[in-house]
Structure 1
Amino acid sequence: MNTIGIVLGRFHRREVEEMLDEARAVAARRQIGIVAEVWVPGSMEKPLAIKRLLQRPDVGGAVALGIIERGETEHGNVMGHAVIGSLINLQLEFMKPVGVGILGPGINPSQIPPRIRPYAAAAVEAVAEMFATA
């Protein structure tokens, strides 16, 4: 089943909307249907939203898009590692691919613009490649 759900963090809404545009374009080129787009407050909420999507029979995989910017403390790094670990575990639990297009953790504001489209594209491409190996 070549369908995906996309989970998006709204903390950096403008940038993530650009990521979504790129994800939609790559999905269309790769003939992957997008059956759900779910906005959540931030990266911490992404694993739960991804799990809910992966439980659906009409969702063959998922993509997480967002940004974890560098802060003044280690909170972003700790959270980023926890989120990525959770997404990897969900991929293995459901045996459905999860593409991660989360900039950071620890990205500086000046590093965000040139990475928006490539990271979103790579997340969808990773799921497409995993569909092909199933």
Structure 2
Amino acid sequence: MNSIGIVLGRFHTKEVEEMLDEARAVAARRQLRIAAEVWVPGSMEKPLAIKRLLRRDDIVGAVALGIIERGETEHGNVMGHAVISSLINLQLEFMKPVGVGILGPGINPSQIPPRTRPYAAAAVEAVADLLASA
């Protein structure tokens, strides 16, 4: 059974815990073992945590879950683009899939609840699909 790691942002803990529940369910259905669940402060810390997981021989892929909510400045947009770009680069550097289940950047609070589970599911499904096609 392939093992993956999941990195979670704790800034929106309640919502991200819902995402984690869904990620666990999809991983089990797709016969992926979750070898590590790493909580970090927010999205900026996700690339380093993902890199640490991808360096492990027992981890064949990773998933990043979290939320970058709309703010009053462009900080969230800039951060979101930097984080996504970093995650894509890590995927290519390690040749291991990284599923991105980060809501936003720029998501409004009312948009979060209906998207938590679908985004988490899609991120795990992406990793599973890439592993299956390798």
Measured against the shorter chain, the TM-score band is: over 0.9
Aligned partners of 2:2 and 2:19: how far apart in 1?
Answer: 20
Q: CA RMSD in A?
A: 0.6
Corresponding residue for residue 54 of structure 2? 54
Separation in structure 2 between the aligned mates of residue 130 and residue 3 of structure 1, nearest angstrom = 13
Is 1:39 aligned with 2:39? yes
Deviation at 1:3, TM superposition (A): 1.2
After superposition, give the CA deviation of every residue in 1:45-99 in whole Å (9 maximum; x if it has no partner): 0000000000000100000000000000000000000000000000000000000
Q: Which runs of 5+ in 2 are unaligned?
A: none
Q: TM-score, normalised by structure 1?
A: 0.99
What TM-score do the two structures reach when normalised by structure 2?
0.99
Match of 2:72 in 1: 72
Unmatched segments (≥5 aa) in structure 1:
none
Percent pairwise identity = 88
AA paired with 1:76?
G
SS in 1 for 2:126: helix
Aligned residues: 134
**Per-residue CA shift, 1:16-52, capped at 9, x if unaligned?**
0000000000000000000000000000000000000
